[in-house]
Amino acid sequence: MPIDTIFALSTGTLPSGVAVVRLSGPSVREVLLSLCGSVPEPRFASLKSIRNRDGLTIDKGLVLFFPGPSSFTGEDCAEFHVHGSRAVVAALLSCLSEETGCRLAEAGEFSRRAFENGKLDLLEIEGLADLLAAETEMQRRQAMQQADGKATQLYNAWRERLIYCRAMIEADLDFSDEGDIPGSVAPRVWEELIALRQSIFGASLDERRGEIIRDGFKIVIAGRPNAGKSSLMNALAGRDVAIVTHYAGTTRDIIQCDIDLEGYVVRLYDTAGIRDTEEYVEQEGIRRALRKIEEADLVLLLKDITENDPTLADQIISVPFLSIGTKADLAADCDRSEFDFILSNHHPEDIEQLRQMIVKTIRSRIGLSESVIPSRLRHIQCLRQALDFIDGALDEQAGLEIRADYLRMASDCLGRLIGRVDTETLLGKIFSEFCVGK
């Protein structure tokens, strides 16, 4: 089936200073001849007049040509850098749609062609998607580890070690009577395999580490009514997000606010005050608060130190939390032993100390290592499946043939992680996350 030449606007919302329209496919040279009169020298920006079929000038801009296979997609590619007005871009896209074999690209189609032509593997594609969506420094760093191939190098190295171990076992099985094959290689293989298992286990230990960087660290602010939850939310956000009054039970629903703490996305949730009540709407707000608490990575459990109410720690004992005493400006003396921290929402230095406590908690959860962190549940699942098969291969009760087959399945799991084995079912979902033009 003939391959279409695809095109799309690759830059942001119009109007803009410059708009970039990309093309990829077998008809790129013909399109350049039709619109510009000539094909620019490869990889050099050329100032060209871009004309429609009637010879009328649409715009004058920079045109670049990238011949395949040395291009992003592996096909012939071109870019039109034109003025970013809606009229110019609309006219250019209309002209391209009239060219034979050209059509508008679907979301992620450029990246999918790069994958199909071997220019990027699946991990690099996912890293590119995360890089496009990155909003903080830590998100950018994690995405770059995948997009620039560091994750692929690591997983490929593990896969090669599995293939080596399997080859040694099969050599032991098939050629042990040959003169140039040493004695039993199995002991060396099992030592190598145990070391490899430990490396993979360390990477798969916490499935939330990568997701915390990519999707955010969820912090729920909880406590009894009038404990200062909404005031703390506003203080951490640096703006008025939640309504603050002296009336108990002001917050009925969950209020969310995202902040950037030293490169980490932190998703703050202000919740209804937890207490016994007969009021139906407030009861629903409390139920939602308790559900959100169970989903949290960390709970800031607030207690007004001027009140004698018992803490709520017993209700969220399964959830990591920091016990925070509030309204320190109203009580000079209190028992500090029951709290992790005491603050006043009106003292900026207290809020900054709490910020640093949160950052320290996030870093302890993620770790300070610069090694590759799996960023998606799919990665964790593939690594854990590989671990299960490695455990099967290490079972001394099984025969060598079965143990070698377990190693084959383990290496297939890592191949699936990179995108070398059985990935067709994943492609539609992964590439649908891209914007059109990428």
User: Can you give the pLDDT at residue 370?
Assistant: 56
Question: Are 71 and 47 part of one and the same domain?
Answer: yes
Question: Are 332 and 311 part of one and the same domain?
Answer: yes
Residue 83's H or E segment, with its range, is strand 77-84
Q: Residue type at 62?
A: L
Q: Both ends of the chain: CA-CA distance in Å?
A: 23
Contacts of 393 (CB under 8 A, 6+ apart): 165, 193, 403, 404, 406, 407, 410
Cβ pair 218, 297 in contact under 8 A: yes
Question: Are 423 and 306 part of one and the same domain?
Answer: no
Question: Are 100 and 180 part of one and the same domain?
Answer: no
Asked whether residue 199 is assigned to any structural domain, the reply reads yes
Question: Are 270 and 355 part of one and the same domain?
Answer: yes
Question: Are 100 and 218 part of one and the same domain?
Answer: no
Say how far apart CA 256 and CA 267 lie, in whole Å.
7
Asked whether residue 336 is assigned to any structural domain, the reply reads yes
User: Can you give the pLDDT at residue 1?
Assistant: 55
User: Can you give the pLDDT at residue 375?
Assistant: 82
Query: Which of 200, 209, 161, 190 lies closest to 384, judged by CA?
Result: 200
In which domain, by residue range, is 150 found?
A: 124-207+378-432
pLDDT, tens digit (0-9, with 9 covering 90-100), for 74-108:
999 999 999 999 999 999 999 999 999 999 999 88
User: Can you give the pLDDT at residue 170?
Assistant: 78
Show the tokens assigned to 140: 């950018």
Say how far apart CA 80 and CA 23 lie, in whole Å.
9
Residue 342's H or E segment, with its range, is strand 341-342
Residue 105's H or E segment, with its range, is none
Q: Please, how many CA atoms are within 13 Å of residue 206, restricted to the half-sphere of its CB?
A: 13
Asked whether residue 115 is assigned to any structural domain, the reply reads no
Question: Are 268 and 355 part of one and the same domain?
Answer: yes
Question: Are 93 and 234 part of one and the same domain?
Answer: no
Question: Are 233 and 197 part of one and the same domain?
Answer: no
User: Can you give the pLDDT at residue 179?
Assistant: 47
Q: What does the pLDDT profile of the chain (438 residues) look like in tens digits?
A: 568 999 999 998 899 999 999 999 999 999 999 999 999 999 999 999 999 988 899 999 999 999 999 999 999 999 999 999 999 999 999 999 999 999 999 988 999 999 989 898 889 999 998 898 888 888 898 889 888 888 899 999 999 999 888 888 877 776 555 544 444 556 778 888 999 999 999 888 766 778 888 889 999 999 888 888 888 999 998 888 776 665 565 667 788 999 999 889 999 999 888 888 888 888 888 888 888 988 899 999 998 888 776 666 656 567 888 989 888 877 666 667 778 898 888 889 999 999 999 999 998 888 755 567 888 888 999 999 999 999 999 988 888 889 889 999 999 999 988 877 655 544 555 566 556 666
Show the tokens assigned to 298: 């960390």
Q: CATH no. for residue 418?
A: 1.20.120.430
Peptide bond into 15 cis (omega under 30): yes
Question: Are 186 and 236 part of one and the same domain?
Answer: no
Question: Are 348 and 382 part of one and the same domain?
Answer: no
pTM, entire model: 0.76
Peptide bond into 225 cis (omega under 30): no
Which of 105, 140, 158 marks a domain boundary? 105
Which of 53, 75, 105 marks a domain boundary? 105
User: Can you give the pLDDT at residue 18?
Assistant: 95
Query: Which of 125, 118, 174, 171 lies closest to 148, judged by CA?
Result: 125
Say how far apart CA 224 and CA 309 lie, in whole Å.
9
pLDDT, tens digit (0-9, with 9 covering 90-100), for 112-158:
999 989 898 889 999 998 898 888 888 898 889 888 888 899 999 99
Q: Which residues pair with 102 in a beta bridge?
A: 5
Peptide bond into 69 cis (omega under 30): yes
Which of 366, 401, 417 marks a domain boundary? 366
Q: Can you tell me whether residue 60 is helix, strand or coil?
A: strand
Q: How many domains does the chain have?
A: 3
Asked whether residue 116 is assigned to any structural domain, the reply reads no
Asked whether residue 119 is assigned to any structural domain, the reply reads no
pLDDT, tens digit (0-9, with 9 covering 90-100), for 352-361:
999 999 999 9
Question: Are 171 and 84 part of one and the same domain?
Answer: no
